Structure 1
Amino acid sequence: MREARRVVITGIGVVAPGGISRKQFWDLLTAGRTATRTISLFDATPFRSRVAAECDFDPIVAGLSRRQIRQWDRTTQFAMVAGKEAIADSGISGQSDPHRTGVMVGTACGSTMSLDSEYALVSDEGKSWLVDEFHGSPYLYDYFTPSSMAAELAWTAEAEGPVGIVSTGCTSGLDVVGHAVDLIRDGEADVMVAGASDAAISPITVACFDAIKATTARNDSPETASRPFDRTRNGFVLGEGSAIFVLEELEHARRRDAHIYAEVSGHASRCNAFSMTGLRDDGMEMADAITAALGEARFNPAEIDYVNAHGSATKQNDRHETAAFKRSLGDHAYRAPISSIKSMIGHSLGAICALELAACALTIENSVIPPTANLHEPDPECDLDYVPIVAREAQVDTVLSVASGFGGFQSAIVLNKPERRRTV
């Protein structure tokens, strides 16, 4: 049987809380600094949870024109800036066939901020049931259709191959990369610009999470509010950001002597068909996704050098995830270092798993494992090695990253140094 085409990461671009570049992002993570703070993007006084991890993003400084700023929602702005960094990092411009180059973007919420503000405008702050459309932005159509974000990035990348959107809630950032990898493996493209973006720190989003008490109410200590796997955790911190990758067929990358961060060797997704927001304690669905991803990647559980956890800092998720690791990795779950970067940059919904994937690739590149910040009192029910407080130097050749999302979605992905992969 012919060996499947292999796919590698050759470019990374990041817009994140605490860092508007790949380097700043990595510096924040390895220093164990937190970027969570009191919400400043709007007046959050009426809300239960008033903390978030915001990006200190100046679109002019980031190189966007005033026309682009007017046209693009903050989510699209993030994706475009991260995408340009990834393309420049890869050196792919002019070295790929446009018809063999595609774009896939993941998002959970699309243009939430623009839709929120535009609705307030046309409805006179919600006072009018019959809205006046003449006061709306001429770009409202783009805000309503997230595919416009992928189209904008495709024009920048000169991509005339497969272009689309993946929206599977909080697993979007993993699933979109998995889908892009499949397109390359199947011969539909040689290069894919793929990743995720979300900027949803808005009144409507905060109100929705307030209603189900999923976010933390630790408003008096925003810097330490996100506490994955800690006994005192009480909910996640909302975030925002984007990570975009250049993915290439391995031989295509080698022919142009591209720098390779890591190979994407396995991906799987499952749905628990159980609850929109609930998770079963046994972690079965996430464990099944992990086992399937490892099988596709041809790695045994004991070969995983680091696990990037979903680690949302909700009581339910952290217990569920701990059980999933034990079920899928066996005894190795107690030996593998595990951490959650949401402790430092919050939970940016559809974008977070792409940001976590960027952290995984940089972990392989630099042999440093980011810590779980604010983990001072480990929960006895979360009794694995969650790398508390301080980054850890270690040889890391193979990484597992996992994600869990509303709707029952559970996803897992495996990255590795290409030389570590068994191909037969």
Structure 2
Amino acid sequence: MSARRDGRRVAITGIGVVAPGGVGTKEYWELLTAGRTATRTISLFNAENFRSRIAAEVDFDPLRAGLSRREARMWDRTTQFAVVAAKEALADSGSVDGFDPYRTGVMVGTACGMTTSLEREYAVVSDEGRTWHVDERHGVPYLYDYFLPSSMATELAWIADAQGPVGVLSTGCTSGIDVIGHAADLIRDGAADVMISGASDAAISPITVACFDAIKATSPRNDSPETASRPFDRTRNGFVLGEGAAIFVLEELEHARRRGAHVYAEVSGHATRSNAYSMTGLRPDGAELAEAIRQAMHRARVDPSEIDYVNAHGSATKQNDLHETAAFKRALGEHAYGTPVSSIKSMIGHSLGAICSLEVAASALAIEHSVIPPTANLHEPDPDCDLDFVPLVAREQNTDVVLSVASGFGGFQSAIVLTKPEWTAA
């Protein structure tokens, strides 16, 4: 059985990353394979009155990252991350000056958009919330751009001279997978030859932390932030908020071959489903996620025995990890017990819409280097999470076919399959 699909195929030829613990793909991969955690006490604002006071923050200086002072002032942190990651991805892909602008597009994903700047500017125009009738004269000239997440896609399009399909996708925590799947479909359908695609979120702000505090979704392990994110561990008690971005150059495979581009992996299959059940709840049997996995494998023409590694959602909430374990068993059958699984959220937290693109980057790099990143902080495995969750230490292993999955508030369940270039099953 082959991972090839009839017609146009989609390759990843460039990767750019801004993540907790490192700005740049090399630094990101080094952190993951070392099993280091980047979670810490929140420093971006005073969080002393919150239930959860920890996060995985990016040590990010926009000027050092190559932005001008004007760009640093104009753009929300989410856009800054996306632009820096996109520039790295375009440079990594090489020869992009020869792309046909009308055959080049942009699709960017985000869960929260420009939350940080909107919250900051609301405080300014409302005099810290004292005035019901806000005074717009005190807002920055870029306030309207903060209101529209599409402004981020616009900036990426200008950078890449992309005059083809351009847009934004927001499906909460599955945005980072869904946007890549959608961009890949645009290439398969012939609407574009190249798509700059991925997701960015920088929502470590009082309003975001308050929202998750209200539903007790985040870990209150404030005395041990480095070990707070514990996917699949018996002692897990919630996720750790994060931030970051991963942007890719997706390219029609023959287009990439003609210019001699390096191919990290092929995007071979994607599917998404909804549980139509609860805004925050998950069915324990994992049926909807299992169906998304099955459909993604079907599109990739891959069967369960050919999956070499699963990059899990692994949020470290009690219900998600059980739901996900059940979904793997349901979709992969007996092969689930012999397939390595890990969660990088144990190291870089949960950056909402951006995390799934960061996980796709990790999946592509796992194929590139034949290394599976570990699940950090997994010292006491939950007996009900009884699969091979690769605890603590990275594992060298052939990874021709990787499955990455996601669950999101609102009942979204998504899966994507990446395959090694030229991979065919024995």
Normalised by the length of structure 2, the TM-score is 0.98
What residue is the counterpart of 1:325 in the other structure?
Answer: 328
2:218 pairs, out of 215, 219, 225, with: 215
Q: Matches of residues 60-99 of structure 1 in structure 2 within 5 Å? A: 60-99=63-102
Rounded Cα–Cα distance in structure 2 between residues aligned with 1:215 and 1:136: 32
Which of 272, 281, 284 matches 1:281? Answer: 284
The reply on whether 1:394 has 2:397 as its aligned counterpart is yes
* Residues in 2 aligned to 1:276 and 1:89: alpha-carbon distance in whole angstroms: 39
Mapped to 2, the partners of 1:296 and 1:418 lie a distance apart of: 16
Counterpart of 2:142 in structure 1 is 139
Gapped regions of structure 1 (runs ≥ 5):
none
* Partner residue in 1 for 2:51: 48
Of 1, 7, 17, the residue aligned with 1:14 is: 17
1:225-374 equivalent positions in 2, closer than 5 A: 225-374=228-377
| Structure 2 unaligned spans of 5+ | none
Question: In structure 2, what is the Cα distance between the partners aligned to 1:186 and 1:418?
Answer: 20
- Equivalent AA in structure 1 for residue 419 of structure 2: N
Distance 1:26 1:383 in 2: 27
Distance 2:33 2:108 in 1: 27
Question: How many angstroms apart in 2 are the aligned matches of 1:124 and 1:208?
Answer: 22
Residue deviations 1:47-80 (CA, integer Å, cap 9, x gap): 0000000000000000101110111000000000
Cα shift readout 1:234-275 (whole Å, capped 9, x = no counterpart): 000000000000000000000001000000000000000000
> For 1:124, what is the secondary structure of its paired residue?
coil
2:175 matched residue in structure 1: 172
AA paired with 2:56?
A
Question: Within 2, Cα distance between the matches of 1:177 and 1:194?
Answer: 6
| Aligned 8 A contact 2:264 2:421 in 1 | no
Query: SS of 2:243's equivalent?
Result: strand
- Separation of aligned partners in 1, 2:94 and 2:287: 41
RMSD: 0.8
Per the alignment, residue 161 of structure 2 pairs with 158
In 2: Cα distance, 1:348 partner to 1:91 partner: 28
Equivalence for 1:182: 185
Distance 1:48 1:92 in 2: 49
- How many Å separate the matches in 2 of 1:297 and 1:420? 11
Write the distance in 2 (CA, Å) between the matches of 1:92 and 1:256.
Answer: 8
State how far apart, in whole Å, the 1-side matches of 2:214 and 2:126 are. 23
Structure 2 CA distance for aligned equivalents of residues 296 and 258 of structure 1: 25
Quick check: 1:413 aligned with 2:413? no
Given that 1:305 and 1:398 are in contact with CA atoms closer than 8 Å, whether structure 2 keeps it comes out as yes
Deviations 1:388-420, CA, capped at 9 Å, x for gaps: 000000011000000000000000000001322
Equivalent in 227, 236, 246 of residue 224 of structure 1: 227
Question: Which one-letter code corresponds to 1:359 in the other structure?
Answer: A
Shift of 1:421: 4.5
Secondary structure of 1:419 counterpart: coil
Rounded Cα–Cα distance in structure 1 between residues aligned with 2:118 and 2:127: 14
SS at match of 1:410: strand
Give the counterpart letter for 2:323 in structure 1.
Answer: H
User: Once the two structures are superposed, what CA deviation does each residue of 1:104-125 show, in whole Å capped at 9, x if it has no partner?
Assistant: 0000000000001001111111
Asked whether the equivalents of residues 241 and 348 of structure 1 are also in contact (C-alpha less than 8 Å), the reply is yes
Q: d(CA) in 2 for partners of 1:357 and 1:380?
A: 28
Counterpart Cα distance in 1 of 2:223 and 2:97: 51
Moved over 6 A (4+): none
Question: Do the aligned partners of 1:298 and 1:421 also contact (CA within 8 Å) in 2?
Answer: no
How far off its partner does 1:130 sit?
A: 1.1
Q: How many pairs does the alignment contain?
A: 421
Distance 2:208 2:179 in 1: 22
* 1:125 and 2:128 correspond: yes
Deviations along 1:322-342, one digit per CA (max 9) or x if unpaired, are 000000000010000000000
TM-score (norm: length of structure 1): 0.99
Residue identity in the other structure for 2:77 = R
Distance in 1 (CA, whole Å) between partners of 2:421 and 2:288 is 28
Corresponding residue SS for 2:22:
coil
State the AA in 2 paired with 1:271: S
- Secondary structure of 1:359's counterpart equals helix
CA distance in 2 between counterparts of 1:280 and 1:236 reads 19
